[in-house]
Structure 1
Amino acid sequence: MRRISVILFLAVITLYAHDVIAQEQKIGFFESDYILAQIPEYEGIQQRLDLLSSTWDEELKALEEEIEQLEEEFKAKEILYTEEIRKQKRQEIEQKKREKEAYLARKFGPNGEYFTKQGELLEPIQRQVFTAVRAVASRQGFDFVFDRSSDIKMVYAREEWNLNEAILTELGIETEQQ
């Protein structure tokens, strides 16, 4: 009986200590999408990326039309071709499809030019934002700060812990709410 009492006592103390530790942590959040939208340079960067993307989209569209034209021509003349020419035309179509896929990967793939250029252009702004986040979090005594715009799902957050305005102030950006 005494042993059960000791175990129960230790369990209660452990739970109590956990609650005390949890209460001492200060957690805040911000929305990087909102912050970036307030930075004037960001809009210019986004426009440059959109222009680049639309140029590549046009080139991709031209490749798709070329493939479609080759396929239509093949279907229309297939019965006139010898087996050797059919094989050659099919290979030509497959080669164009591979060329399109390679172009797509080169321009828009995970290591493609678009994401490389995006990282290159946005990196200085992102560095500024995260420096401001660290400064605000440190100054206001936050233990954790989450980005509500990211993949982390926040089911509920009290607005008093929203650091958007403090971060914008740290970046020297005035908003209507200030």
Structure 2
Amino acid sequence: MRTPIVLAALFAVLAAPASLAQQTIGFIDSSTILPQMPEFQSAQQELDRLTQQWQAEVQTVALEAEQMADRFAAREILYTDDEREAQLEAIEAKREERDALRSRYFGPQGELFREQQTQLRPAQERLLAAIEVVAEEGDYDYIFDRAGEYLFLYTRPRNNVTDLVLEELGIGLGAAGLTGTSG
């Protein structure tokens, strides 16, 4: 599946007009920048807190289902057929409750997904604004995020503008700088 994409990208690069060679392309690593932003850190802490709370809730229901199954196994021979069937249905209902909670909180469109979108939006918007400033001031035609799923055949380290975006955000680089470049 990636082969057609790679071939298309290679063809586009080779077939590009000469004016394309004069365009300036930069890239950042958002996985380096975002964790250093205070609003991202506080959002991540809140997401971690919610995740722990929801995991505890799911684990509580899972433990209840497990205890019900253990009690049933220990007393199974004492039950009539109707009681046995009722107990098995109750155990299955508890397991379904566990699965429903897990899906509600951690599923593809679950609470965690929605909270991530809501909590992380301010940091992402601030990062995009800083990228726009760096792009305009540095006369970059394109800035890509190499932390995403973008394909890079080759990148020159001198085009990494991560440090410039960190500087624009007012975030220090620490003792030795994170990326080793500043454009």
Letter in 1 for 2:92: E
Instruction: Find the counterpart in structure 1 of residue 132 from structure 2.
Output: 134
Tell me how far 1:145 sits from its aligned partner.
1.7
CA RMSD of aligned residues (A): 2.2
Give the Cα–Cα distance (whole angstroms) in 2 for the partners of residues 78 and 25 of structure 1: 75
Letter in 2 for 1:52: L
CA deviation map 1:155-178 (0-9, x unaligned) = 532111101111112222232338
166-175 or 125-134: bigger deviation: 166-175
CA deviation map 1:68-117 (0-9, x unaligned) = 11111122222221221121111111111111111111111222222222
Instruction: Find the counterpart in structure 1 of residue 149 from structure 2.
Output: 151
Letter in 1 for 2:87: K
Instruction: Find the counterpart in structure 2 of residue 89 from structure 1.
Output: 87
- Normalising by structure 1, report the TM-score: 0.82
- 1:102-113 mapped onto 2 (5 Å cutoff): 102-113=100-111
Letter in 2 for 1:146: F
Instruction: Find the counterpart in structure 1 of residue 122 from structure 2.
Output: 124
Give the Cα–Cα distance (whole angstroms) in 2 for the partners of residues 146 and 134 of structure 1: 12
Runs of 4+ aligned structure 1 residues displaced above 6 Å come to none
Instruction: Find the counterpart in structure 2 of residue 114 from structure 1.
Output: 112
Give the Cα–Cα distance (whole angstroms) in 2 for the partners of residues 157 and 65 of structure 1: 51
Give the Cα–Cα distance (whole angstroms) in 2 for the partners of residues 154 and 65 of structure 1: 47
Give the Cα–Cα distance (whole angstroms) in 2 for the partners of residues 16 and 40 of structure 1: 42
Give the Cα–Cα distance (whole angstroms) in 2 for the partners of residues 100 and 21 of structure 1: 59
Give the Cα–Cα distance (whole angstroms) in 2 for the partners of residues 57 and 131 of structure 1: 35
Instruction: Find the counterpart in structure 2 of residue 3 from structure 1.
Output: none
> Is the radius of gyration larger for structure 1 or structure 2?
1
Structure 1 residues 67 and 153, CA gap change in structure 2 (3 angstroms): farther
Letter in 1 for 2:22: E
Identity %: 37
Instruction: Find the counterpart in structure 1 of residue 21 from structure 2.
Output: 23
Instruction: Find the counterpart in structure 2 of residue 33 from structure 1.
Output: 31
Instruction: Find the counterpart in structure 1 of residue 44 from structure 2.
Output: 46
Give the Cα–Cα distance (whole angstroms) in 2 for the partners of residues 93 and 153 of structure 1: 48
Letter in 2 for 1:124: P
Tell me how far 1:17 sits from its aligned partner.
7.0
Q: 1:62 aligns with which of 52, 57, 60?
A: 60
Instruction: Find the counterpart in structure 2 of residue 4 from structure 1.
Output: none
Q: For structure 1, which runs of at least 5 residues remain unmatched after alignment?
A: 1-14
Give the Cα–Cα distance (whole angstroms) in 2 for the partners of residues 51 and 77 of structure 1: 39
Q: For structure 2, which runs of at least 5 residues remain unmatched after alignment?
A: 1-12
- Normalising by structure 2, report the TM-score: 0.80
Structure with bigger helix share is 1
Q: Which has the higher contact order (CA 8 A, sep 6+)?
A: 1
Aligned residues: 164
Give the Cα–Cα distance (whole angstroms) in 1 for the partners of residues 151 and 37 of structure 2: 25
Give the Cα–Cα distance (whole angstroms) in 2 for the partners of residues 51 and 112 of structure 1: 16
